[in-house]
Structure 1
Amino acid sequence: MVLLYQSIVSYQPSNTKPPVLDSSEDVVPDKDSQNIYGLRPFLEAVKRDIDVVKQFLADPDAAFLPPPSTNAPYLIAVWKEVLSSSPPVIAIGKTFHERLQITTDGEGKKHARSQSSGKSSRSGVKVDVVADNGHTWIRVNTAKNSRLLAEFREIDSYLTDSDPEGDGDNASSSLAQIEFDNSLLRTGRALVAAARDNPVLGTTNPPEVVFRLTRIDPDATDGNGNDPRIALTVNSLRNMGLSIKLGERGAIEQLVKSFPALSSPRTLTPTHRINLDLSILIALVSDLTHAPLPESVDAAHERFVPSTAYLEWKRSRLRAKSGGISGNTSAAREDAEDPLESTQHSRALAGQLQQEMRKGMFQEIRERLLACRPGQSGADASTDVSAPPPEGAPPLAEFWTTAEARDRCLRIVAKIGGPAERRRAHALFPTSSSADGVEPPPSPAEQEAQYWAGSRYPRGFLPLPPIRVFSAREAAQPPDSPPRAGFFSALEATCRALLASDDGPSHPRAAEGSGSGSEISRASVVRSNVRLTTHTAQSMLCGAARGWTTLTANRASVKAMLREVRTRGYGLDPRHRGDGPVGHVALWMVDPRSLAEGLRSDAVGASPLTPV
């Protein structure tokens, strides 16, 4: 058992990692094994069993006591299946339910019953190992022949006690079997029914069900351990469509040694065309990204100390929202808490500024893009980040975004952005800024000059303006998009499933006007996952459907989407790992940068939250 515990702790599955690049500062490496559903509870069960045995052996009278009850044979057998099964293993000890049959009785009342057992309860059936990315279910049974023989003896007792010549009043006769049945057959029927009602997600095919009977021997030579009905049971299970495996696997030591070695991690590189979500658009125009850096950490905090004028303006705004009732209790409480809230916001901005001091977001992006060029190494990239690309050199990348992300960015910047932040936003999206046709749109050179004016980075440091925008039709279905395999396909399928389940805004304010009022309308969230906004799912879909990298500063959304990909069964299939050691990044995360120009303590002019 100790070896079993050590094997679980050191287990590194061969699951292919999703092509996600995390450039954010506080990256915490997580083990792939934590992505396996049920691994932690299984490890805890093993530890409890070890503790029971240790406690028993510590008793001075252990030699004279009956052995403790232990699940060791079952736990060891399950772990052997984990080590021996086709990767990736995605779950241990997961319960699946079959679809209930709805019937109506004579009184018109509806009842839900299991199709396999006929019972009204829906306890589900446990699958010990879900392997091959959900294509294979494995159920382990460690019962011996003696247990089945005990069942047969009980069945025989009902037949013996019944009186075939009686008047039918004998209670035992009602327990006699009409058809041959036992616990293994009932489990087999439940597994087949659950597999039929839980096809491999993304397909209509049920998983293959493997029933591992570690200690059942239908050909036992011992007269006390054999019965023809044991072989009949095994054959009946096979006739159900189950794959029956008899006997135990090899020793854990041998399985660990034969466990396939982990392949070297692939080198992930961004694609030439990069899809930008709303969080990155905000970061691109943020004062934090462009302004000169402070000389020290203290200076970074001082830059965002809320001024007295700002605090007074915020209090007056809160009083106006409460109807100007100075005696209102809630308004008074808001006034009292406002300085603390502003201080916390200022600390967050100061923290983001310190991240820029350690390594700027633009510098990180440019280094990655330079390293993608043929013949360009990471060392070469890091030594050349202080100057723009050479004249006439091809652009490092081409940047795209959705119309909704663009529109929401412009509304947010118009509401709370400072003058320079608004100028940068309109330089990135000049068509929207001159949509009235009064002024001709600026030339590309003018856009670039407007965007980089006053920035600490040289003009053209990144080929940002103009950012191209997907049309509504292109966002829904890319033209001439070839079919994709692997994670890009999984991400696309997941995004489409989430958006298809959406039938309207799920937040009361999401249905309001698009920022024409005094407040910016809240983004609608996906109904099946409130951690994901609709426009975020749409942005990820645009990148995944094209095989492009999606750049985001929204780590929470990426984590939520990865959970959705795993939960919905669209995990990366090892049969579609791609060729070669180099792969493209699907999702690229960087640290967020908020709009901050108007919240600087040295800001001059009107309040930053005053609409312009």
Structure 2
Amino acid sequence: MTSIAESIRIYKEIFEQSALFTSNDDRLLVIDNWLDVPNDWTCSGIEGYHRWRMLIRAELIAAEELLQTNDANEPLISSNLIAHWTCWMAIINPAVSKHPITAVNKYLMLPKRQGHKGKPKSVKVDVVADAGREWIRLSNIKLSSILAELTEIDSLITSSEDEADPVDQPMPVPFLLKLGHELSEASCRHIIHDQRPAIHLYLTRLTPQEIADSDSRVASQLETLSLYGIQVHFGIPTYDLKLSPKPPRQPLKPSSNINLDVSTIIAFISLTTHIHDPAEASLKPNNANEHVRAISNQLRQESSVCALFDLVRQTCDTDTLQFWTTQENKERTYSIMEKIGGASEKRRLDCIFDGGDFWQGSRYSDSPVPGFPVKIISDAGEDVATASFDDFVLRRAQKALSSDGNMGSAGKVTSHTLRTVIAGLERGWTTLTSNRQSIKALVQGWHTHLHNNSSIATFWLVEPRSLSEQMLERSDRQRKLEQPQDSNADSKQQTVNSK
């Protein structure tokens, strides 16, 4: 048993070092080019980690208070030091818990039994590792406790046999078998990447030799655990945490093939994207603040602050650039532009898909951006090989699509947005969109990328356009009504006159 002074030293060491430990890359794979919006696309951290550290802090405070009235060399009785120390060793040792770690001291629900009243039972997993693919359970049970349990079961069996009218009741299940059964049951409810999580049980105070020299029923229990799919380990390897500066990360880049949603297709053909001098445009929106903000942001973005096609040219590898979208998005864009599009925008809409002089009358006509015409993604998935992205977001999008867009606590996402995102994720393509809220809902809880050394972004966010386009179009139509029409009306549409 560890002394009070030594326990305090160990608790302090764990508490101080745990403040510096990190398992996850601290950013999500999202390029964010919104104006005036914080770029807070960071991982949500390790669930339960802060709460676990606060438990250690409470133990440390209690031990320090005990030291004030007791000798430092006295043993610390009723301490959770062993449990916390073994958990810390499991957390920091990548040979035990593969990074990224997503949860500590997590309780996972068991299937609710038929006829059982109340909340379903749960089983504890000390560390959820490898982005949910591995569960680490630590048990500090001693061999003496296992043998005592067997003795008690033997006593119950003997007592039952001696009774003239034995009571028909089930015999108690040994702790290790009960634990193994519960972990196995829980894993069936938490399928990830088409597989149950791998379960590792660390018997931190047992050795193989002790088991071999003991009651054969102990070894039999461990064999049964393997039938449950549980890998049993003895002891817990010690590990010295080495905190070194992280190497500089590569900036995120879009994939060569970029998946477009409706908002970006409309932005690509919008008058404000191609107008020669957007800074001189004078619009007459209504007094709604969101309309004024949307228009001013778009004009500011197009006035060389963050112009859309300039942004594409600066960010992408233009030698291999190709834009794609779904047939559904093409049809939706035509439907929208039929209602709000001007003549030049409708002409560009045809050109963006079918070819033709897309850049006619554009301020980019002398330096067109590659990647056009936009190609249509095949429903058969023939466009690209296997996706390279971690499929956490893909599976979340697929699940939401099957639930009418319901994302639980994250709200709802429209079905056509989900289908667009899924088309990009299935192929490992960056999806270019202005739909910030939907993307935030989809990546909630996302911890990592399968290939962490990759710098390819999953999503690329740009400033929303649709509202300002509509307002610009209304302003332009009003101008046409107020001025005499002439044969050069379409070219005049490209300049919004100051009133």
TM-score bin (small chain): 0.7 to 0.9
Match of 1:553 among 434, 439, 456: 434
1:313 match: none
Relative to structure 1, the CA distance from residue 408 to residue 230 in structure 2 (aligned partners, 3 Å threshold; closer, same or farther) is same
Aligned AA (1:483): A
Work out the CA distance in 1 between the residues paired with 2:454 and 2:228.
Answer: 45
Work out the CA distance in 2 between the residues paired with 1:56 and 1:305.
Answer: 70
Work out the CA distance in 1 between the residues paired with 2:143 and 2:82.
Answer: 15
Work out the CA distance in 2 between the residues paired with 1:239 and 1:468.
Answer: 53
Work out the CA distance in 2 between the residues paired with 1:602 and 1:174.
Answer: 82
Relative to structure 1, the CA distance from residue 527 to residue 238 in structure 2 (aligned partners, 3 Å threshold; closer, same or farther) is closer
Relative to structure 1, the CA distance from residue 60 to residue 163 in structure 2 (aligned partners, 3 Å threshold; closer, same or farther) is closer
Q: CA deviation at 1:27?
A: 4.5
3-state SS of paired residue (1:444): coil
3-state SS of paired residue (1:589): strand
CA deviation vs aligned residue, 1:15-45 (integer Å, no higher than 9, x gap): 697654333343535554x344x2xx23223
Q: CA deviation at 1:189?
A: 1.7
Relative to structure 1, the CA distance from residue 30 to residue 3 in structure 2 (aligned partners, 3 Å threshold; closer, same or farther) is farther
Relative to structure 1, the CA distance from residue 126 to residue 355 in structure 2 (aligned partners, 3 Å threshold; closer, same or farther) is farther
Q: CA deviation at 1:593?
A: 2.7
Percent identity over the alignment?
Answer: 24
Relative to structure 1, the CA distance from residue 61 to residue 497 in structure 2 (aligned partners, 3 Å threshold; closer, same or farther) is closer
1:43 match: 50
Relative to structure 1, the CA distance from residue 125 to residue 45 in structure 2 (aligned partners, 3 Å threshold; closer, same or farther) is same
Q: CA deviation at 1:279?
A: 1.9
Q: CA deviation at 1:536?
A: 1.7
Relative to structure 1, the CA distance from residue 137 to residue 553 in structure 2 (aligned partners, 3 Å threshold; closer, same or farther) is same
Work out the CA distance in 2 between the residues paired with 1:30 and 1:151.
Answer: 51
- Structure 1, 525-534 or 129-138: larger mean CA deviation: 525-534
Q: CA deviation at 1:138?
A: 1.3
Relative to structure 1, the CA distance from residue 51 to residue 554 in structure 2 (aligned partners, 3 Å threshold; closer, same or farther) is same
Match of 1:427 among 339, 347, 353: 347
Match of 1:535 among 395, 401, 416: 416
3-state SS of paired residue (2:204): strand
1:377-388 alignment to 2 at 5 Å?
none
1:104 match: none
Contact 1:543 1:550 in 2 (8 A): yes
Work out the CA distance in 2 between the residues paired with 1:352 and 1:57.
Answer: 60
2:15 aligned with 1:5: yes
Relative to structure 1, the CA distance from residue 186 to residue 532 in structure 2 (aligned partners, 3 Å threshold; closer, same or farther) is same
Q: CA deviation at 1:423?
A: 3.5
2:79 aligned with 1:91: no
Work out the CA distance in 2 between the residues paired with 1:182 and 1:93.
Answer: 23
Relative to structure 1, the CA distance from residue 46 to residue 229 in structure 2 (aligned partners, 3 Å threshold; closer, same or farther) is farther
CA deviation vs aligned residue, 1:374-405 (integer Å, no higher than 9, x gap): xxxxxxxxxxxxxxxxxxxxx77333323332
1:365-444 alignment to 2 at 5 Å?
365-369=312-316, 372=317, 397-415=321-339, 417=340, 422-430=342-350, 444=356
2:468 aligned with 1:562: no
- Structure 1, 65-74 or 207-216: larger mean CA deviation: 65-74
1:194 match: 186
Aligned AA (1:22): D
Contact 1:429 1:466 in 2 (8 A): no
1:211 match: 201
> Which ranges in structure 1 are unaligned for 5 or more consecutive residues?
102-110, 114-118, 311-338, 374-394, 434-440, 507-524
Work out the CA distance in 1 between the residues paired with 2:174 and 2:234.
Answer: 18
TM-score computed with the length of structure 2 as normaliser: 0.73
1:513 match: none
Number of paired residues?
460
> Which ranges in structure 2 are unaligned for 5 or more consecutive residues?
1-10, 481-499
Q: CA deviation at 1:50?
A: 0.8
Work out the CA distance in 2 between the residues paired with 1:112 and 1:573.
Answer: 42
2:130 match: 132
Work out the CA distance in 2 between the residues paired with 1:266 and 1:484.
Answer: 23
Contact 2:28 2:446 in 1 (8 A): no
CA deviation vs aligned residue, 1:63-103 (integer Å, no higher than 9, x gap): 289958554432332232222223333333334445566xx
1:448 match: 359
Relative to structure 1, the CA distance from residue 58 to residue 287 in structure 2 (aligned partners, 3 Å threshold; closer, same or farther) is farther
Work out the CA distance in 2 between the residues paired with 1:139 and 1:285.
Answer: 56
Aligned AA (1:573): L
Aligned AA (2:135): W
Work out the CA distance in 2 between the residues paired with 1:266 and 1:157.
Answer: 65
2:296 match: 350
Q: CA deviation at 1:216?
A: 3.9
Contact 1:273 1:397 in 2 (8 A): yes
CA deviation vs aligned residue, 1:395-429 (integer Å, no higher than 9, x gap): 773333233323333444454x4xxx624431322
Contact 1:273 1:399 in 2 (8 A): yes
Relative to structure 1, the CA distance from residue 95 to residue 424 in structure 2 (aligned partners, 3 Å threshold; closer, same or farther) is farther
TM-score computed with the length of structure 1 as normaliser: 0.62
- Structure 1, 182-191 or 403-412: larger mean CA deviation: 403-412
1:239-278 alignment to 2 at 5 Å?
240-251=228-239, 254=240, 256-257=241-242, 265-266=249-250, 268-278=252-262
Q: CA deviation at 1:276?
A: 1.3
Relative to structure 1, the CA distance from residue 495 to residue 235 in structure 2 (aligned partners, 3 Å threshold; closer, same or farther) is closer
Contact 1:349 1:594 in 2 (8 A): no
2:497 aligned with 1:591: no
Q: CA deviation at 1:482?
A: 4.9
Contact 1:4 1:76 in 2 (8 A): yes
Work out the CA distance in 2 between the residues paired with 1:546 and 1:485.
Answer: 4
Work out the CA distance in 2 between the residues paired with 1:186 and 1:488.
Answer: 34
Work out the CA distance in 1 between the residues paired with 2:51 and 2:190.
Answer: 30
Relative to structure 1, the CA distance from residue 166 to residue 56 in structure 2 (aligned partners, 3 Å threshold; closer, same or farther) is closer
1:159-178 alignment to 2 at 5 Å?
162=159, 164-168=161-165, 178=171
Q: CA deviation at 1:573?
A: 3.3
Q: CA deviation at 1:280?
A: 1.2
CA deviation vs aligned residue, 1:550-605 (integer Å, no higher than 9, x gap): 21122222233334877xxxx6435xx6xxx7654442222223442664799466
Q: CA deviation at 1:158?
A: 4.4
Work out the CA distance in 1 between the residues paired with 2:227 and 2:372.
Answer: 65
3-state SS of paired residue (1:13): coil
Aligned AA (1:209): I
Work out the CA distance in 2 between the residues paired with 1:261 and 1:83.
Answer: 16
Relative to structure 1, the CA distance from residue 193 to residue 281 in structure 2 (aligned partners, 3 Å threshold; closer, same or farther) is same
Q: CA deviation at 1:141?
A: 1.5
Q: CA deviation at 1:212?
A: 0.9
Relative to structure 1, the CA distance from residue 61 to residue 289 in structure 2 (aligned partners, 3 Å threshold; closer, same or farther) is same
Relative to structure 1, the CA distance from residue 17 to residue 465 in structure 2 (aligned partners, 3 Å threshold; closer, same or farther) is closer
Work out the CA distance in 2 between the residues paired with 1:155 and 1:80.
Answer: 34
Aligned AA (2:292): S
Work out the CA distance in 2 between the residues paired with 1:423 and 1:498.
Answer: 38
Work out the CA distance in 2 between the residues paired with 1:550 and 1:208.
Answer: 32
